[in-house]
Amino acid sequence: MSNPSILILPGDGIGPEVMAEVRKIIDWYGAKRDLVFDVSEDLVGGCAYDKHGTPLHDDTMAKAQEVDAVLLGAVGGPKYDALDFSVKPERGLLRLRKEMDLYSNLRPAQCFDALADFSSLKKDVVAGLDIMIVRELTSGIYFGEPRGIFKEGNERVGINTQRYTESEIERVARSAFELARRRNNKVCSMEKANVMESGILWREVVQKVHDTEYPDVELSHMYADAGAMQLCRWPKQFDVIVTDNLFGDLLSDAAAMLTGSLGMLPSASLGAPMANGRPKALYEPVHGSAPDIAGQGKANPIACILSFAMALRYSFDNGAEADRLEKAIETVLANGARTADLLGEDGVTPLSTSEMGDAILAALDASL
């Protein structure tokens, strides 16, 4: 039997730095846990544009379709701001999501106890927080037609169209309900059914999927703006939140800051099962390319490493080793290890990107 395959796309900015620490973790699993992966690497984003004139070469897209999982670092930077919209670095990521049909975006917001004081909310509100936002990723207002900037009379008008089919809503709802069954069996669906027809359809379809297929899961509905307020008021009331592409983008970024740092948050984008039964999948940290600190060893690699932990869990059916990796990170943080984004005390010298990776490797060794 062949080894599971991973395509690594480090991307731009701090992407290559944080992904180098993931490569160390992958190598550790091969050497210490006999979990050997066939790893290849390619370009995406600005660096791909620099070499190929496109943010994602067709050959790279073909590789992504063939492997068991794609790990992506980050894309973009001010160097590419003046490019035409069609070749901006972010279009490479959007193409991966669209052509791999990665319709279910899992964005956990977990607050490690050691970092509860870094949240903008009170410690008792966020300590122990562990929620999952399931965002529909391949439809909605980011992809709907018509779209564009047009001339109407003497002025321009920008148009984006919110569009969802029943089947698109059904499949992401099933993803959320299945995930809830593995967690605390509770789903909150968020939309704007009070002012948007697409929201009315969303609520009706989610309710139908629940009633016919997942009656054992507790389901509630909430308007997305009220959901944003409740995330800031008492986020631990939620377990799994399922929502559309636009609201999922906004709500997951809001939830991200509850944990204290974007450098701590991974994500998974999952699609339909392949022939081997594994879902097509792309894993990436929520943070951006942070070009202002690129190459300085200041980046926090934890979000990218946690993204690999999600790959262990969702692509490689190895929850036990995902737990091991997450526990190693928790141990390192509890022992006081901090990168620059997590420092709250004057006079404390932060760990570099590679030093944090080494600390996690030491904790993994200690777990054996």
- 276-310 tens-digit pLDDT: 888 899 999 988 999 999 999 999 999 999 999 99
Q: What is the pLDDT of residues 5-31, one digit of tens each?
A: 999 999 999 999 999 999 999 999 999
Q: CATH class for domain 1-112+259-368?
A: alpha beta
Beta bridge partners of 286: none
Average pLDDT over residues 150-169: 97
Whether 350 contacts 293, CB under 8 Å: no
Token digits of residue 225? 């703006």
Pairing of strands 130-136, 144-152: unpaired
Cα separation, 306 vs 4, whole angstroms: 18
Q: Tokens 């984006």 belong to which residue? A: 160
CA–CA–CA angle 340, 19, 288 (5° rounding): 60
User: How buried is residue 63: exposed, middle or buried, by Cβ count under 10 Å (0-12/13-18/19+)?
Assistant: middle
Beta bridge partners of 11: 74
Average pLDDT over residues 259-275: 85
- Classified as helix, coil or strand, 269 is strand
Report pLDDT for 6.
98
Q: Cite the beta strand spans of 104-237 per DSSP E.
A: 104-110, 130-136, 144-152, 155-161, 186-191, 218-223
Sign of the CA dihedral with 271 first, then 274, 279, and 282 last: negative
Whether 266 contacts 283, CB under 8 Å: yes
Q: What is the pLDDT of residues 303-343, one digit of tens each?
A: 999 999 999 999 999 999 999 999 999 999 999 999 988 87
Catalytically active residues are 142, 192, 225, 249, 253
Q: Tokens 């879902």 belong to which residue? A: 279
Taking each continuous run of H as one helix and of E as one strand, the counts in the chain are 12, 12
Closest by CA to 69, choosing from 2, 137, 5, 24, is 5
Q: Where are the domains of the chain?
A: 1-112+259-368, 137-243
Report pLDDT for 127.
84
Report pLDDT for 64.
97
Q: What is the pLDDT of residues 64-89, one digit of tens each?
A: 999 999 999 999 999 999 999 999 99
Contacts of 24 by beta carbon, 8 Å cutoff, 6+ apart = 357, 358, 361
Cα separation, 249 vs 148, whole angstroms: 20
